[in-house]
Structure formats: structure tokens, C-alpha cells
């Protein structure tokens, strides 16, 4: 027996069973005036509705995102000598990942990319919330 024949027999059996059920128990059919209850989908991983609403309230708050190329300390006399074309040496090494900060808090590291003549950063390592909390407690 081929797959098509099995599917046809299965469909016929299903249809026959449905007809038999309707004949045997007409009282079990839903009356026309009964509206089925709609239940909210429950996902274990999702937050309760109240928490989602609270989160929605802060989604539009702007934060300062900074990509830090490097740092250095410089004396004021050297700072005053800087002019156009001056080069300031930074502690960061070429090819080293750059820090991505949100409101001064490290959240990720990444590498510089250029897309359509604009600089961007490709995130290579995102700091987990537990790591951020651990750093704050130090």
C-alpha cells in the first residue's frame, strides 16, 4: 500500500468517525448562543502582563551609548601644546576589542566596521547581567 493510499484511508476513517460521533451524541454539540472563552497564551519564559507594561514604559528613554577606542593620561602642559595634526598615543592596542558603554557601564566589546563610509561596531562579546552586577559590587 502506497503513502497516498494510506493517507486516503486515514482521511476516510477520520471522516467516518466524525459522522458517527455526530449521530451518536447530538446533545454534545455546542449551542449556537454559547461563545467560546478566549484564554491568553501562557508562556513560561514571558513576564507577567504587569511587568511587560512596566518595561514598555521605559523603552523610549534615551541612554548614552559610547564606544571607547582607548584612554590616556596627559599633563595639562602637553594638552595645551596639542594642535591640528598632533597625535595622541592611547593605551589601547590596534586590533584590541573596544569597550561599549551605556551610561558609563560596560555592556559589550566589539570591533570597528565601516559600512557605507560610516563607522560602526560589531559586537563580539556581550557582558551578561550577572557579570555586570558582579563588577558593580566590587
Q: Distance between terminal CA atoms of the chain?
A: 71
Would you state the pLDDT for residue 77? Answer: 94
Where do the domains of the chain lie? 62-138
**Which conformational region is residue 20 in: left (phi greater than 0), alpha (psi within -120 to 50 degrees), or beta?**
alpha
Q: What's the pLDDT score for residue 14?
A: 66
Residue 38 has pLDDT above 70, yes or no: no
For 62-138, which CATH superfamily applies?
SpoA-like (2.30.330.10)
The more confident residue out of 2 and 21 is 21
Q: What is the pLDDT of residue 7?
A: 47
Closest CA to 72 of 54, 85, 87: 87
Torsions phi, psi of 35, nearest 5? -100, 125
Q: Which residue bears the cell 586590533?
A: 95
CB-based burial label for 100 (10 Å; 0-12, 13-18, 19+): buried
Q: Are 119 and 111 in contact (CB under 8 A)?
A: no
pLDDT at 13 over 80: no
Q: What is the pLDDT of residues 50-94, one digit of tens each?
A: 666 777 888 889 999 999 888 899 999 999 999 999 999 888 777
C-alpha dist (Å) from residue 114 to 25, 110, 118, 119: 70, 13, 5, 5
Contact predicate 119/93, CB 8 Å: no
What does pTM read for this prediction? 0.51
For the chain, the average pLDDT equals 77
What does the alpha-carbon distance between residue 104 and residue 124 come to, in Å, rounded to a whole number? 19
Spatial distance between the Cα atoms of 108 and 121, rounded to a whole number of angstroms: 10
Determine the length of the chain. Answer: 138
Amino acid at each position: 500500500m502506497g503513502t497516498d493510499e494510506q493517507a486516503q484511508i486515514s482521511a476516510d476513517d477520520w471522516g467516518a468517525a466524525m459522522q458517527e460521533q455526530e449521530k451518536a451524541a447530538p446533545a454534545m454539540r455546542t449551542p449556537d448562543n454559547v461563545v467560546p472563552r478566549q484564554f491568553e497564551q501562557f508562556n513560561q519564559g514571558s513576564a507577567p502582563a504587569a511587568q511587560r507594561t512596566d518595561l514598555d514604559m521605559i523603552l523610549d528613554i534615551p541612554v548614552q551609548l559610547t564606544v571607547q577606542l582607548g584612554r590616556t593620561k596627559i599633563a595639562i602642559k602637553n594638552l595645551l601644546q596639542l594642535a591640528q595634526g598632533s597625535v595622541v598615543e592611547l593605551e589601547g592596542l590596534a586590533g584590541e576589542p573596544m569597550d561599549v558603554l551605556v551610561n558609563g557601564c560596560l555592556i559589550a566589546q566589539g570591533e570597528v566596521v565601516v559600512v557605507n563610509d560610516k563607522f560602526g561596531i560589531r559586537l563580539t562579546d556581550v557582558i551578561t547581567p550577572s557579570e555586570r552586577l558582579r563588577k558593580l559590587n566590587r
